[in-house]
A and B are shown apart, each in its own frame.
Chain A
Amino acid sequence: GAGVSQSPSNKVTEKGKDVELRCDPISGHTALYWYRQSLGQGLEFLIYFQGNSAPDKSGLPNDRFSAERPEGSFSTLEIQRTEQGDSAMYLCASSKRQDRANSPLHFGNGTRLTVT
């Protein structure tokens, strides 16, 4: 069966450009999470979706970052006016439901974003 799919796997962009990253969760998984992993850092939570709503956006660093999950299936993470500090691995995860203790997160392979 298919796992969590993220595209593109690598993205190089110039400072100031906008980028959009996509995540396709495992079919039937209602919960979807975005994380960011910078060199030497742990995984930093960005945003969580339950269906098509986002109950927790507390990890988005600033208003240049936004995410959508319009139909409750795939999700997109958009970064506007990218900066070099945005360079990182962006990871998406999904789970069957919100209860992490009984429904582990399944991660994609990530999108490596490099801002030059």
Chain B
Amino acid sequence: GDSVTQMEGPVTLSEEAFLTINCTYTATGYPSLFWYVQYPGEGLQLLLKATKADDKGSNKGFEATYRKETTSFHLEKGSVQVSDSAVYFCALGGATNKLIFGTGTLLAVQP
């Protein structure tokens, strides 16, 4: 069945460091891909999405490119801030009507 694998955390970075959180997927067909973020004490919210191969989703300085050849959707940000500290979830939306999530990656950014 469809599945998502993302790198385990926690990821600890200093402010202004470069961020990569790896995400790979297994799916039949052509899923849409998402990154959701959960800030401390808040619900999950959509960070960015890509609906087809080679699409790049971007928001708040974060980017992820839908790579069909490597079945990946890695999240990147050039310069992280303390306020980016959160749990990040990669997800795919396949042929059925539900999102399939990865296990989440905790990012801690230190000043």
Q: Is B69 an interface residue (CB 8 A)?
A: no
Contact yes or no, B43 A3, CB < 8 A: yes
Q: How many A-B residue pairs have CB under 8 A?
A: 59
Min CB–CB distance B64 → chain A (angstroms): 15
Residue of B nearest to A43 (CB): B101
Min CB–CB distance A46 → chain B (angstroms): 9
A43: which B residues are within 8 A, CB to CB?
44, 89, 91, 99, 101
Chain B contact patch, size range: 20 to 34
Q: Considering residues A4, A31, A100, which has the most beta carbons from chain B within 10 angstroms of its beta carbon?
A: A100
Contact yes or no, B43 A105, CB < 8 A: no
Contact yes or no, B97 A98, CB < 8 A: yes
A109 to B41, CA, bound (A): 8
Contact yes or no, A107 B45, CB < 8 A: yes
A107 to B32, CA, bound (A): 18
Query: A41-B103, A43-B89, A101-B49 are contacts. A91–B43 as well, Cβ < 8 Å?
Result: yes
- Interface residues in A, total, Cβ within 8 A: 27
Contact yes or no, B43 A48, CB < 8 A: no
Q: Is A25 an interface residue (CB 8 A)?
A: no
Q: Considering residues B4, B41, B44, B96, which has the most beta carbons from chain A within 10 angstroms of its beta carbon?
A: B44
- Picked from B41, B98, B104, the residue with its CB within 8 Å of the CB of A33 is B98
Give residues in A with beta carbon < 8 Å to B: 3-4, 31, 33, 35, 40-43, 45, 48, 50, 55-56, 59, 91, 93, 98, 100-101, 104-110
Give residues in B with beta carbon < 8 Å to A: 4, 32, 34, 36, 41-46, 49, 51, 89, 91, 93, 96-104
Question: What would 7 more interface pairs be, CB under 8 Å, given A42-B101, A43-B44, A107-B43?
Answer: A40-B103, A43-B99, A43-B101, A45-B100, A101-B51, A105-B99, A109-B41
